Amino acid sequence: MLLYAHAKINWTLAIRGRRPDGYHLLSMLMQPVTLCDTVRLERADAVTLEVTGNPSVPSDERNIARKAAQLLREHCGTKEGARIRIEKRIPVEAGLGGGSADCAAVLAGLNRLWGLGLGQEELEALGLRLGADAPFCLRGGLCRAEGVGERLSVYEKTPRWPLIIVQPCGGLSTGEVFRRWHAANERTEPDETALLRAIEADDPLMLPPRPGNDLESVSRILRPEIAEAVEALRDRGACCAQMSGSGSAVYGVFPDERTADAALHAIRVRWGSACRCATCAESVTFAEE
């Protein structure tokens, strides 16, 4: 079984509070993008995981995708096994939800491979036990995620706009970024009115230059290259450019394919890791082999 686990971008990220257990209460608008990891699943006697494409990603019990398989076995009381192979393309510690995307693909794929028959809500509840972005990565579409990521509201419109995504520096620890944010306590008010108006009109030229991400200012202090990448994307014609999640990846939305393709060459000269993709509706997709 072959699946594609799609990355996501944050159109907005606003911190609304904190629960007694330390988890942050958020309000985010998120959408999948066509950049994805490849996940292959085969029946086996035990659960094993092989990761290629990024040597820094562990393949042992620390990997969230392996945790997902084990959690599914325990939840359903099954002794089924699987050989899991993940080819990484989504940058790590980037704010693009790569780990959660792999987790979601394994939950959805093994549910089908093992014939477990779990519904969407049950899969999302399991995903939430592993990562705050996992329920969204199972749902897809243009979504508002609230609470710690468990309350999802899907919007009808899902624009498909050209993007360039670049990770201009080393990864960032989500925990460290949130600690820095608490020390600075800098809040922004996302420009959701203009953002949603542009989405409704399907016109990227109407996008606000920076829809709003509460974590970007502190992440820029930790990694000044983030600000450089945002400005480089805007200089090359991006209608909108900002950091995704807690960073360190930055995305730029372009008005058309031609402008995005022209910008990609210049951006890659400076940051070879830049990639061209697009926003989309699909989060986990199954492919026929």
Radius of gyration of the chain from its Cα atoms, rounded to whole angstroms: 18
* Among 156, 148, 126, 155, CA closest to 138: 126
Residue 147 near residue 250 (C-beta atoms within 8 A): no
Reported in sequence order, the residue ranges of the chain that DSSP labels E, i.e. its strands, are: 2-18, 24-44, 47-52, 81-87, 143-147, 151-154, 162-166, 240-243, 250-253, 275-278, 284-287
Nearest-angstrom CA–CA distance, 202 and 127:
31
Give the CA dihedral 279, 280, 285, 289, nearest 10 degrees: -80
Given 8, 67, 88, 102, the catalytic residue: 8
Q: Active-site residue 8, yes or no?
A: yes
Question: Angle at the Cα of 245 (from 211 to 169), degrees rounded to 5?
Answer: 105
* Among 28, 91, 84, CA closest to 59: 84
Given 37, 67, 102, 133, the catalytic residue: 133
Helix (H) or strand (E) holding 73: helix 64-76
Nearest-angstrom CA–CA distance, 40 and 206:
39
Residue 119 near residue 131 (C-beta atoms within 8 A): no
Q: Active-site residue 67, yes or no?
A: no
Nearest-angstrom CA–CA distance, 206 and 194:
7
Catalytic residue annotation: 8, 133
